Amino acid sequence: MNDEELLTRWRLVLGKFAEQQLSCNLSARNQRIEKALDFLYSREYRGRGVRGEDDQTGRSKEKTPGSLDPSQLSVPAWLSEVRDLFPNDTCEIIEKHALDRYGMTELVTDPDVLAKMNPNLELLKTVLTFKGSMQGEVLQVARRIVRQVVEEIKRRLESDVRRTLLGKINRFQHSPLKVAQNLDWRDTIRKNLKHYDPERKKLIVQNVRFFSRVERRLPWDIILCVDQSGSMASSVIHSAVMAGILAGLPALNISLVVFDTNVVDLSGFVDDPVEALMSVQLGGGTDIAQALGYCSRLVKTPHRTVLALVSDFAEGGSVAHMLAIAKAIRESGVTAIGLASLDEGANAFYDVQTGERLADLGWHIAAMTPRHFAHWLAGIIRK
């Protein structure tokens, strides 16, 4: 570490009050780190007469209303920053400090505070992070938030996924279901020609015709093996929702397995993403080999099985052991895919070297949105 890096490290350790004594140019990332650390560790100054803070928000009372002071972080935004800026083990220490040392418990103890927050993906991640510390009424509020956000994600995804996987348009049969992509415009025009208005030169459409779709009943087993480490929060959420959607399709058997250093089979909850998510525990280490070993025992018909490993591929144990199991799975005939991301942004951060080694074994490696995963899956099961 050179002198400039050492100075920056001490500057971040000591916080904003060392700005004049330790003058250095912080990068944009280091400025985010300073802001995230200050949100929590500035609470150390409480009771020391250095600065006053509001007990509910952690915001400095020195901030002048209507001024040009920097915007303040909310608890969910702060947690999102922490997860983005620091490695998993550091995140766990910071979150433990937040709860145990600085009493930042309003999200896990006060149902009124939680109920007033806007249900969104970031808040859902926060709830899943701290739900183990929630009890009673606040846990019920948290469950309602989980359900609201899950239903919104499902609403955005379900129609596209179902349409993609249920089959191609059947142009020999019409359907009462009015879906724009199924519009039979030729037959619609033909059926409504008698309503043509020659004076207005317009066709008055009174009977809109739609194609039906062929439902393909394919006996495929889909195993979603999902890394539940803290950095994978978005993918865990979308995987649970995706499992719920797939479980509602004909002739697809869905298994949902989550893991850190332990493996938990949530297949019994695939039709209820809320209960599945309330059963996960974000954080902890990563033992991909153990998870793949468990999933391999779920395989009954390898040539009609898809195993999707949703992970950043950062194996905490022996990479060689993990690759040996991955190789055996692929050689058995299972269609295997490693997904570095399964959320609507498909923003992937993963161990590239391990991903490449999996690809060399015949695994498909990609970062996909749920919609893209549905299209990929449809291509596999329709071969």
Give pLDDT tens digits for 284-339: 789 999 999 999 999 999 999 999 999 999 999 999 999 999 999 999 999 999 99
Please report, rounded to a whole number, the percentage of residues in the chain having pLDDT higher than 70.
85
Average pLDDT over residues 80-86: 84
* CA dihedral angle for residue 40, residue 42, residue 48, residue 53, rounded to 10 degrees: -80
User: Looking at this protein, which amino acid is placed at residue 128?
Assistant: L
**Superfamily of 220-381 according to CATH:** von Willebrand factor, type A domain (3.40.50.410)
Which of 269, 268, 282 minimizes the C-alpha distance to 241?
269
Q: What are the domain boundaries of the chain?
A: 1-63+71-86, 169-213, 220-381
Task: Give the global pTM.
Answer: 0.68
Q: Which is it for strands 169-174 and 211-213: parallel, antiparallel or unpaired? A: antiparallel
Residue pLDDT, tens place only, 350-383: 899 999 999 999 999 999 999 999 999 988 887 7
Which helix (H) or strand (E) covers residue 221, if one does?
A: strand 220-227
On the question of pLDDT at 69 being above 70, the answer is no
pLDDT of residue 48: 55
pLDDT of residue 59: 42
On the question of pLDDT at 167 being above 70, the answer is no
Cα separations in angstroms, 4 against 7, 20, 21, 279: 5, 16, 14, 45
Least confident interval from 156-170, 201-215, 275-289: 201-215
